[in-house]
């Protein structure tokens, strides 16, 4: 599983230093723990690398995005505890199979693309004649075409377009027991006491509550009731009230 | 047949590719050979493509040389060109044409809404082929389309009343709403 | 050169006139001859237009037969016609084309999922160049794509069957098994 085009991307991370393709190999061999690897750092290093080179190689960029997306997906699944995985119906085997399939697909079609490129190159210099039919034949074309189309195709086309797409099934999404309104009033309560961190706001909460709380926080930000800052990726999120106005009391009701 | 010298082969290829007659001067420039050598090559080809030998002839026309099909083959050529072509309309073109045929006059934005994807290239082709034409503007300034008399001829229809009844292909015939409204609804559901 | 039988001459003329490859069936209809006789005539012409003999070649491409220039004459053709024959494909276009060629009919969201990045601009270019075309809609309403006869023609393929088995580019079963096992062990270590 080497990524030839990315071999030049040198990384210097907390848990690893060396070329990107080596990192990939080590992750797959479990010699580097995917959970300890900060993928944001890898992306930043790649952006630096791009800036230094001063050009965007689309092929390499595509490859990089596919690989990082696959790693990100695998990592996010690794981060779930096993009972929560049951909830989402994702097995580790499934995650591994999916990553493998994704990587094999990307590799397969890149090779197939190269093959098509070779085929096209082999045809270099082959030209075909593009000429209108001689004048004495042109009339024949238009004349004989009368009635040559079947009106049924129009009816079929309309039938195709009348078809409503099937409704998207939402059965697999578990019912929300936590409401945004609940979490909004919780956050407003905390804000009244001053600044706090996101971790404090969700201490001891389950994953769904964490997600809904984050959503409620976005809502507060949108309404101008709160601001937040994060010094570094994965760092603490500090939340402050807006000093210049105090609409919280009004809107809380 | 025996192998021809390179210049003869190159001149033959150029005459084959060009839809217009080529002068010895043009051929000499392209082949980077002398005009005398090109004239000699043309003489070799003139013998090869002499009338009656093959299906293609070499002809001198207005100071240039051109390959043309032998007149004896004209009947077959006419049958070839007049055959109803198998894949005349792409699915995108058929859909766009069907929308115009059943809902005319109709604006391009509406066609796009029904199809869920842009119909620009399909409607350009249909305009080009004389199957649809512009029919003024909607109250919002969008160009309206309708089908042409040529459309009726090509589809063997005496009038638009003869368009096939779509009930046969209707997936939900119990729906009561107007055709236009139903198509717009389905298109928007697909696009979302 | 000696005089050719009438059917051979007529087939040669039709191949010369048609810009698309012609199948033996189409040639038989136009010439009003049997398909067997047409195939025999094509064999005579294939010998006449064998590689290396002349500036034109007879090729079997995209399900039919067509005349094409010999690549040796390309330099002269480029000097004569300012337009280059066909530009190459960008990596994104080649990848999108490969996915469509192997998985057709396939929708754009599926192509995007496989590539990991949007295929919108690449597929628009391929549509524009006539290498892929729309092929109806998926059950979810997404436009499906397939390759065109033009694709086969430009890539020198008689049919899609000539594309090598995609499995040819897979790692060996041993490599794959080892990779799978590593990934599994990593997953299980997390889950326990």
Q: What is the ipTM of this complex?
A: 0.66
Interface of C with B (CB under 8 A): 1-4, 6, 8-14, 16-18, 22, 26, 29-32, 48, 52-56, 67, 69-70, 72-73, 76-77, 79-81, 127, 133-137, 141, 143
Mean pLDDT to the nearest integer, C6-26 = 92
> Average pLDDT of chain A?
73
> What is the predicted pLDDT for the residue at A2?
33
Give the sign of the dihedral formed by CA C155, CA C157, CA C159, CA C165: negative
Of B97, B172, B187, the CB nearest to A154: B97
B-facing residues of A in 136-195 (CB < 8 A) are 136-137, 140-141, 143-165
Low-confidence ranges of chain B (pLDDT < 70): 1-2, 83-88, 192
> What is the predicted pLDDT for the residue at B86?
44
> What is the predicted pLDDT for the residue at B149?
85
- At CA C145, angle to CA C139 and CA C151, rounded to 5? 160
Contact residues on chain C for A120, CB-CB shorter than 8 A: 86, 88-89, 154-155
> What is the predicted pLDDT for the residue at B153?
84
Higher pLDDT, A115 or C137: A115
Dihedral Cα C109, B116, A156, A145, nearest 10 deg:
-100
Search chain B and give the residue with CA nearest A128.
B17
Search chain B and give the residue with CA nearest A164.
B186
pLDDT at C85 over 70: no
Of A134, A144, A159, the CB nearest to B69: A134
Of C71, C97, C179, the CB nearest to A126: C71
Q: Hey, are the CB atoms on A126 and C140 less than 8 Å from each other?
A: no
- Give B121's contacts (C-beta < 8 A, 6+ positions apart): B92, C127
| Single pTM value for the model | 0.56
Higher pLDDT, A79 or A191: A191
Of C97, C166, C185, the CB nearest to A30: C185
Q: Scanning the structure block, which residue is given the tokens 């032998």? A: B70
Q: What values do phi and psi take at B75, rounded to 5? A: -60, -45
pLDDT at A246 over 70: no
Search chain A and give the residue with CA nearest B98.
A154
Question: For the segment A95-130, what is each residue's pLDDT rounded down to a tens digit?
Answer: 667 777 777 787 788 889 999 998 888 888 888 887
**How far apart (Å, rounded) are the C-alpha atoms in residues A137 and A199?**
81
pLDDT at A169 over 90: no
pLDDT confidence bin for A176, thresholds 50/70/90 = low
**C174/chain A closest Cα distance in angstroms:** 13
> What is the predicted pLDDT for the residue at A142?
47
> Nearest Cα to A186, choosing from A121, A248, A95, A104?
A248
Higher pLDDT, A62 or A185: A185
pLDDT at C144 over 50: yes
pLDDT confidence bin for A31, thresholds 50/70/90 = low
């Amino acid at each position: 599983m080497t990524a030839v085009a990315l071999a030049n991307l040198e990384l210097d991370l907390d848990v690893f230093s060396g070329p990107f393709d080596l990192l990939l190999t080590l992750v797959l061999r479990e010699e580097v723990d995917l959970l300890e690897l900060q993928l944001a750092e890898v992306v930043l290093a790649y952006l630096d690398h791009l800036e230094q080179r001063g050009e965007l190689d689309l092929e390499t960029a595509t490859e990089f995005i596919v690989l990082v997306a696959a790693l990100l997906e695998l990592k996010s699944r690794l981060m779930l505890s096993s009972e929560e995985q049951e909830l989402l119906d994702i097995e580790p085997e499934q995650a591994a199979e999916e990553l493998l399939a994704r990587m094999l697909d990307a590799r397969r079609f890149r090779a197939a693309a190269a093959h098509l490129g070779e085929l096209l190159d082999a045809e270099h210099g082959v030209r075909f004649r593009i000429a209108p039919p001689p004048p004495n034949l042109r009339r024949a074309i238009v004349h004989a075409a009368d009635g040559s189309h079947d009106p049924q195709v129009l009816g079929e086309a309309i039938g195709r377009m009348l078809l409503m797409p099937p409704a998207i099934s939402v059965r697999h999404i578990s019912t929300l027991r936590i409401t945004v309104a609940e979490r909004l009033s919780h956050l407003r309560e905390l804000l009244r006491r001053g600044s706090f961190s996101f971790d404090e706001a969700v201490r001891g909460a389950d994953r769904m509550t964490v997600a809904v709380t984050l959503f409620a926080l976005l809502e507060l930000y949108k309404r101008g009731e709160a601001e937040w800052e994060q010094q570094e990726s994965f760092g603490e999120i500090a939340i402050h009230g807006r000093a210049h106005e105090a609409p919280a009391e009004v809107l809380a009701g | 047949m025996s192998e021809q010298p390179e210049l003869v082969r190159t001149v033959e290829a150029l005459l084959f590719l060009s839809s217009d007659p080529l002068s010895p001067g043009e051929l000499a420039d392209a082949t980077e050979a002398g005009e005398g050598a090109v004239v000699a090559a043309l003489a070799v080809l003139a013998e090869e493509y002499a009338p009656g030998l093959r299906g293609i002839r070499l002809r001198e026309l207005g100071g240039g040389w051109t390959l043309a099909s032998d007149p004896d083959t004209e009947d077959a050529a006419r049958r070839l060109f007049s055959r109803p072509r198998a894949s005349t309309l792409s699915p995108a073109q058929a859909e766009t044409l069907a929308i115009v045929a059943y809902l005319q006059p109709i604006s391009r934005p509406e066609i796009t809404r029904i199809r869920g994807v842009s119909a620009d290239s399909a409607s350009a082709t249909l305009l080009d082929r004389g199957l649809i034409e512009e029919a003024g503007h909607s109250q919002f300034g969008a160009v309206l389309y309708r089908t042409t008399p040529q459309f009726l001829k090509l589809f063997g229809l005496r009038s638009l009343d003869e368009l096939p009844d779509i009930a046969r292909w209707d997936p939900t015939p119990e729906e009561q709403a107007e055709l236009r409204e139903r198509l717009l609804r389905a298109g928007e559901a697909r696009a979302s």
